[in-house]
Structure 1
Amino acid sequence: MPSRGLRYGRSVFATALFVALVVAGWGFVSLLAETEVVADPDVGPIVAPVSVAVSAVAVLFALASPRWSTVTGRGLGAVLGSSAVLALGAVAVQLATLGLLQFVATGRLTALLLVIAAQAPTPFTIVVVGAAFVSAIGLSLIGAGQGGASWPWEKDDE
């Protein structure tokens, strides 16, 4: 199992990949569909970026956990399944944060439910799921090489 520093270091890069894919994906979808990321005009401009930031923190801690380091040793099915669960969790955190921030801004419980119901079926949600899945798979591929690089004369078996 890799050390804590190595786990967090790799997770930071995977989380940066997640955020970059979300920003780029939302930009392309917004450009191609000619629509805003959050269609509700009552939602402020800071709510969507903050919801992605909170989701990124959740992804960071999930990927840095010691349990994630053992996923690669259990096979491809475990990697794909764990990555799918992480992706669904990331989008759930993003949507919940979006709703909670809208509730705090307006003070109406219906605003929380309406913004989640309006945002969930959009392609922007699929971008978040895809970005989390790709970053989790990428970290699993990096984590597969648990050992460090060494020269041939550094072998301990002699």
Structure 2
Amino acid sequence: MPAPAEDRRYATLVAAFSAMGYGALLVAAFGILSLLTDRDVIDDPDAGPLVGPVMTVAAILFVLLVLVRVGRATPLARQRPRLWLSLGVGLGAYLVFALVGALAFSIGTGAVLGFLGFAFSQLISPFAVAAGVAAIVVTLLFSLILASRGGGSERPEWPWEHNEQ
């Protein structure tokens, strides 16, 4: 049974805000990690100025698409917190962040063999790990929000909205 249209709209809206929150969390985490480790997000000077933003946007889009897909597939009344989904999305965001960055790096530099070196350097960087951990947190919060709405809670109403008939 597909989710009702109102449930799908709500899940899509929460997914969009969750993805925006994920993007903000990434920027904050990258800034803090950069200060703590005294290291740039992209250490390679050959990478150029666009590799980092491309990596970040790819991870955000990955999280957004998964959240929209999962949120719209299940009616709100049957939504439950999903730890395994959160772990899977975190792993996926971690891999997308590193591999899309490696692809952008190899396209930007024209070095096909640079793909492997850049991918490996990103897979062991704290920034890729932060992208994965942030995705786990955001996905878990997303599933908790949808599950709480499915428990019969309705939107708050102002006193003049009550139908007293």
On whether the aligned pair clears a TM of 0.5, the verdict is yes
Task: State the match for 2:119 in structure 1.
Answer: 116
Task: State the match for 2:84 in structure 1.
Answer: 81
Task: State the match for 2:100 in structure 1.
Answer: 97
1:12-65 Cα deviation digits (max 9, x unpaired)? 111011111111001000001111111111111211111111111111110001
Verify the 8 A CA contact 2:59 2:131 in the aligned structure 1. Answer: no
Select which of 128, 133, 136 maps to 1:130: 133
TM-score (norm 2): 0.82
Paired residues, what number? 151
The reply on whether 1:149 has 2:152 as its aligned counterpart is no
Structure 1 residue runs of 5 or longer lacking an equivalent are none
**CA distance in 1: counterparts of 2:22 and 2:73, whole angstroms:** 18
1:69-126 Cα deviation digits (max 9, x unpaired)? 54984755xx111100011111111111101111111122111111111111111111
One-letter amino acid of the structure 1 residue matched with residue 110 of structure 2:
G
TM-score (norm 1): 0.85
Structure 2 residue runs of 5 or longer lacking an equivalent are none
Verify the 8 A CA contact 1:7 1:69 in the aligned structure 2. Answer: no
Runs of 4+ deviating beyond 6 Å: none
Residue 65 of structure 1 aligns to a residue in which SS?
helix
Identity among equivalent positions (%) equals 29
| Distance change >3 Å, CA 49–CA 27, structure 1 → 2 | same
Q: Could you say what the CA RMSD is over the residues aligned between the two structures, in angstroms?
A: 2.2
Residue 18 of structure 1 aligns to a residue in which SS?
helix
| Distance change >3 Å, CA 71–CA 47, structure 1 → 2 | farther
